[in-house]
Amino acid sequence: MSFTIPIGPYHPALEEPCKVQVTCEGEIVQDVTLSVKYNFRGVEWLAERRNYHQAIALVERVCGICSNVHTLTFCNAVERLAGLTVPERAQYLRTIVVELERLTSHALWAGIAAEVMGFQTLFMICFALRELLMDLLETISGNRVHYGMNCIGGVTRDLVDPEVVRTTSRRVRQTVTDQLIPLFATDKTVRARCVGIGQLTKEQALAWGAVGPTARASGLTEDIRRTSPYAAYARVEFKVPVETSGDVFARVVVRLFEMVESCRIVEQALDQMPPGPIHGPNFVEVPPGEAVARSEAPRGELFYYVASDGTDIPSRVKIRTPSFVNMPTVRLMMLQANLADVPPINASIDPCYSCISR
Amino acid sequence: MDLEEIRERLGNMKAWVKRSEAWWLENPDLDVERMARLMVETGARLTTVTASRVPEGEFRMIYHWDLQGQLLNFITVTRQSALPSIARICPAADWIEREIHDYFAVNFGGRELPTLVLSGQDPPGIFSWNFEWKGKEGGHA
């Protein structure tokens, strides 16, 4: 006998709305319907009714976790349209803040994953780490969530005390290496909930357009920081962690190793960052034309298309977030899974519903 | 498969243009199903599709593909606000086409288009509604 269970719109793991309706035979999932319409705000439409500077503040609010990478990508697209060169120091500052944002996002995700698995101690370690990172971002920018760091042509604030960033980065790297990786990799509870669960093959990941850690856990190697470098990524060394098993565990492993690499990038950027200006002129003319920009957000490739008709208001802003393309793969991961594995599978792609429906 | 071979196999295309660190190819009569089959064959990933209104009442459509880190953009125009769906060839197009249908009421032939970001009772084309002075006829103010 089959039965249908509506999970949501309140999420089984995250405090964002989404509805996952699963149809089961016994405890085995036979079909899944996803509904992601609960956060639609028409951000693209709104961005086409504000000038370029106002649109920065708007796109920063697409997401409450990866807000900085939205403004970075939007500014990159506008800078390409306007033919602007960003000062070198600003490129390093952008790299540092966007990597700290990735660390914050991954720490949040790791904590939620631990909670979903019923591992409260691990949850608390992750959230203590996240608190440390949010305090650091507040020290740099004055804000814990929407940092307001990016402007067209550079950044809005310089780094006052690089040593605080360096010290925190080392502490984060040590916690991830000494505590998070061993706990996630070896703990019996974690392995029981993750290994062999929610598999996504490499072929499925490519066909459905998956990106970021979700794709790299299934054997795809693309990382926009490596294939189309922006900010200062061409000048720092880092590894792109890739796993091939395509299960929840692989997605855990990829993100944890990415955290170590993010710390390496931050520390290199601090070492290399030259003195100099942090932005260009305050007001720029954007000629008619169109441009695209891509960044590697915490959840994968973030895509912006911006078109200009020569006025101070963009004529078209298209935003494609990583969760928008990763979320449909959840259905494939859940088919034939045990009902009890639905929450960790869902959490394993680190879904952001604000980003999906915008 | 290199860019020139892709252009030749699509037939009747202008030359590739490079701008904003991406490649652009334009053809108002582009056969989007043929393009999708070719890109899937090359191992490309569909990044997204951008729809923009043009004065003639149609929509300029840009199919963005990632081919080994290069961004390839195929530009075409809708025909009577419609194009064939490529979702059966490339599953990644499923949600993309549904979202464009919600925003602009562009139709994609050969498939059903259930709402994605709009609630079920809302008519598609929310970005085409005129919020400034009156609602779409028969729709919402």
DSSP 8-state symbol, B135: P
Q: Mean pLDDT across chain A, nearest whole number?
A: 92
Q: Who has greater pLDDT, B15 or A200?
A: A200
SS3 B55: coil
Cβ A31 vs Cβ A23: under 8 Å: yes
Q: Which tokens in the block code for residue A200?
A: 């996504």
| Three-state DSSP class for residue A99 | helix
> Nearest C-alpha of chain B: how many angstroms from A306?
10
Short-list A194, A215, A190, CA closest to A203? A215
Residue A13 scores a pLDDT above 80: no
In the predicted model, what is the mean pLDDT of residues A117-140?
Answer: 92
Query: Does B91 sit within 8 Å of A328, measured CB to CB?
Result: yes
Find the mean pLDDT for residues B23-43.
93
Amino acid at A40: F
* Long-range contacts of the stretch B124-133 (C-beta < 8 A, 24+): B126/A42, B126/A45, B126/B102, B127/A42, B127/A44, B127/A45, B127/B103, B128/B53, B128/B103, B128/B104
Q: Which of B52, B103, B118 sits opposite A37 (nearest CB)?
A: B118
Lowest mean pLDDT among A107-116, A142-151, A233-242: A107-116
Provide mean pLDDT across the span B47-66. Answer: 92
Start-to-end CA distance of chain A, whole Å, equals 38
pLDDT at B136 over 60: no
Residue B133 is predicted with a pLDDT of 44
Using 50, 70 and 90 to split pLDDT, how confident is the model at B45?
very high
* Residue A50 to residue A316: CA distance in whole angstroms: 11
If one compares B28 and A208, the residue with the highest pLDDT of the two is A208
**Class (C level, CATH) for B3-128:** alpha beta
Strand partners, A292: A305
The Cβ of residue A280 has, within 10 Å, a number of other Cβ atoms equal to 18
As a whole number, the mean pLDDT across chain B is 87
CB count, 10 Å around CB of A271?
11
Cα(B115)–Cα(B92) distance, rounded to whole angstroms?
16
Measured distance CA(A73)–CA(A75) in Å, rounded: 5
Q: Is A228 on the interface with B (CB under 8 A)?
A: yes
Give the integer Cα–Cα distance in Å for A57 and B25: 33
Please report, for chain A, the start and end positions of each structural domain, with discontinuous segments joined by +.
2-357
- Does the pLDDT at position B61 exceed 80? yes
Write down the pLDDT at residue A11: 65
For chain A positions 102-131, those within 8 Å of chain B (CB to CB) are none
pLDDT higher than 70, residue B137: no
What share of chain A in percent tops pLDDT 90? 72
Contact between A159 and A165 under an 8 Å Cβ cutoff? The reply is yes
Task: Decide if pLDDT at B135 tops 50.
Answer: no
What SS3 class is residue A312? coil
Cβ of B117 within 8 Å of Cβ of A36? The answer is yes
pLDDT at B131: 52
Radius of gyration of chain A (CA): 20
Taken in order A164, A296, A45, B119, is the CA torsion positive or negative?
A: negative
Question: What pLDDT score was predicted for residue B132?
Answer: 53
pLDDT bin (cut points 50, 70, 90) of residue B141 is very low
Chain A residues within an 8 Å CB radius of B66: 222, 301
> Which among A179, A326, A19, A194 has a CA at the least distance from the CA of B45?
A326
Backbone angles phi, psi at A132, to 5 degrees: -60, -45
For the ranges A268-277, A345-354, B22-31, the lowest mean pLDDT is seen at A345-354
Dist CA A110 CA A127 (whole Å):
9
Q: What is the pLDDT of residue B47?
A: 96
Is this complex's ipTM strictly greater than 0.85? yes
Greater confidence, A10 or A196?
A: A196
What's the mean pLDDT in A296-321? Answer: 94
CB-CB neighbours of A61 under 10 Å = 17
pLDDT at residue A92, rounded to an integer: 97
What residues in chain B have their Cβ under 8 A from chain A's Cβ atoms? 19-22, 40, 43, 45-48, 50, 52, 62, 64, 66, 68-69, 71, 73, 90-92, 94-95, 99, 103, 115-119, 126-127
CATH code reported for the domain at A2-357:
1.10.645.10
Q: Do A37 and B90 touch (CB under 8 A)?
A: no
What is residue A285's predicted lDDT score, i.e. its pLDDT?
85
Give the confidence band of A300 by pLDDT, cuts at 50, 70, 90.
Answer: very high
Q: Do A292 and B91 touch (CB under 8 A)?
A: no
Q: Find the radius of gyration of the CA atoms of chain B.
A: 16
